[in-house]
């Protein structure tokens, strides 16, 4: 007696589980956190400059891929500069994020590990958050043979999930970093719609783009005593009408910002308007005024009134 052997049934490969989670981007000022976020997203969301305190708020950048969704949180730089209310707010914002995420990226600069880097790593260790060490600016490392010993020394400082050398500016190894991040996240459904890139409003982003121009264009100290408040943001006939107030702490600072016949602020506002049009995809009419609010950066109540809420 013979039996016919049934044909083998085709089996589909097991589906890769979807992963979703929040990832804090942490590090000292000017190490490239916002540049990395913008590179991953493929667009300019977080403002950048070479000055500390450029990032003053935790900003979500949402990257959705076929494998899952990563909710990046760009944080202010952990720093040791001063004890003013604004400095306390920035450090408090960065630290508050660390305990509420699934993973953290600690950005450090290739060949360098400062006291502020150590402070950021210590805060992450205290929060108990899994950490991937991201060694940025490898393109600026003159002696490439220093990289491997630096990575070995860095590995002794903490039980990192991974150590990944990258160049956020050029994009080197950023795709690999994103793959490692997704693999380290918990399984789960996406939280945000596929086409959503941030939780921040266009009104907020407009203020940030104007502040970016001030950070980039003026001297070393003045930008730290400056903040932006969007007083009016309306859509009318296919364009945005935006009125912005730039707050400083002294009349002398106001004079510097405005410049001769207002040319300096006009140039900053013009560039900010162009950046807004790129981001919003529509014409923008921007009007800017400079006003004085004495000692706003050292006054908790003034900070709160200007959008620096307590955490």
Q: Is the pLDDT of residue 311 over 50?
A: no
pLDDT of residue 18: 96
Q: From the centroid of its chain, how far is CA 134?
A: 14
Q: Rounded to the nearest 5°, which phi and psi values hold at 4? A: -80, 130
pLDDT of residue 72: 94
Q: Is the pLDDT of residue 178 over 80?
A: yes
Instruction: Tell me the per-residue pLDDT of 251-297, one tens digit each, with 9 for 90 and over.
Output: 998 998 888 778 888 999 999 999 999 999 999 999 999 999 888 77
- Domains of the chain, CATH where assigned: 19-184 (3.40.50.300), 202-305 (3.30.300.20)
Of the listed ranges 11-20, 98-107, 162-171, 227-236, the one predicted with least confidence: 11-20
Cα gap 133→26, rounded to integer Å = 10
The number of residues in the chain equals: 311
Question: If you average pLDDT over each of 141-145, 146-150, 219-223, which comes out highest?
Answer: 146-150
Angle between helices 251-258 and 263-280 (to 10 degrees): 70
pTM as predicted: 0.80
8 A C-beta contact, residue 211 and residue 47: yes
H-run or E-run covering 24: strand 19-27
Instruction: Tell me the per-residue pLDDT of 4-16, one tens digit each, with 9 for 90 and over.
Output: 445 555 554 557 8
- The arrangement of strands across the sheet holding 284-292 comes to 227-236, 239-248, 284-292
Instruction: Tell me the per-residue pLDDT of 23-70, one tens digit each, with 9 for 90 and over.
Output: 999 988 889 998 999 999 998 887 776 655 565 667 889 999 999 999
H helix intervals, the chain: 33-41, 85-98, 115-127, 147-155, 174-184, 202-217, 251-258, 263-280, 300-305
Residues 185-211, mean pLDDT to the nearest whole number:
93
Nearest to 65, CA basis, from 199, 175, 200, 171: 175
């Amino acid at each position: 007696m013979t039996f016919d052997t049934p044909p083998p049934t085709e089996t589909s490969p097991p589906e890769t589980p979807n992963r979703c989670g929040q990832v804090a981007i942490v590090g000292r000022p000017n190490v490239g956190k916002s540049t990395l976020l913008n590179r991953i997203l493929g667009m300019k969301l977080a403002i950048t400059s070479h000055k500390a305190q450029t990032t003053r708020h935790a900003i979500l950048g949402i990257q959705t891929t076929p494998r899952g969704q990563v909710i990046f949180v760009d944080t202010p730089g952990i720093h040791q500069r001063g004890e003013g209310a604004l400095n306390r707010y920035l450090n408090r914002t960065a630290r508050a994020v660390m305990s509420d995420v699934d993973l953290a990226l600690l950005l450090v600069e290739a060949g360098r590990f400062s006291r502020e880097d150590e402070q950021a790593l210590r805060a992450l260790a205290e929060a108990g958050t899994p950490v991937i060490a991201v060694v940025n600016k490898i393109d600026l490392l003159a002696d490439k043979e220093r990289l491997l010993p630096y990575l070995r020394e860095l590995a002794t400082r903490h039980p990192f999930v991974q150590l990944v050398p990258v160049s956020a500016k050029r994009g080197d190894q950023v795709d690999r970093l994103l793959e490692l991040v997704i693999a380290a996240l918990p399984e789960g459904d996406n939280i945000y719609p596929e086409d959503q890139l941030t939780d921040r409003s266009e009104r907020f982003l407009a203020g940030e783009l104007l502040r970016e121009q001030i950070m980039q264009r003026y001297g070393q100290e003045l930008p730290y005593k400056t903040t932006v408040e969007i007083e009016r943001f309306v859509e009318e006939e296919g364009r945005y009408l935006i009125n912005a107030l730039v707050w400083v702490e002294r009349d002398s600072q106001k004079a510097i910002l405005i410049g001769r016949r207002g040319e300096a602020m006009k140039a900053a506002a013009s560039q900010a308007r162009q950046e807004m049009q790129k981001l919003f995809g529509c014409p923008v009419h921007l009007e800017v005024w400079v006003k004085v609010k004495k000692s706003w950066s050292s006054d908790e109540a003034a900070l709160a009134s200007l959008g620096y809420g307590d955490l």
